[in-house]
Structure 1
Amino acid sequence: MGRATIVGETTAGGAHLTGSVIATDKFYIRIPQGRSTSSVTNANWEGTGVIPDIEISAEEALKTAHAKALEKLKDKE
């Protein structure tokens, strides 16, 4: 929706919510209980993940996000 800039690595891609249900005294099952949907694409990111606007390693993401935020603030002045 363009409300944020995502910095870092592509996420794992989990978008289908499930819950545990006890089936027997030895088994439980996972039952779908929800589905996340993007209001922009009308799809979700199951299996593909969320692709960041700025792709960079997790180790460098915070430093890069901070620098980009400072640049944006400087541009506003």
Structure 2
Amino acid sequence: MLNLGHLTILFSALFFAIAGYAVFFSAFLSLTGSTVLDTLAKDTHYKYFVLFIVPTTSYFVIANWVGWQYYRNS
């Protein structure tokens, strides 16, 4: 029986495979006839926005936390 940890890893791997195809490999391969994945393959701007939102959000959270610590301890 799969528990929550196994399902999380399974869905993460599935998402990584689909997103990896949609962002990187779709320019070289044409494996599906899906209109959603084909639309993402033709897009040249917004599909990279998803990749940059994770480090940008992380930087924003860390910078705000450090600023809050400076404010509290001054």
Normalising by structure 1, we get a TM-score of 0.24
The higher-RCO structure (CA 8 Å, 6+ apart) is 1
Normalising by structure 2, we get a TM-score of 0.25
* Structure number having the greater helix percentage: 2
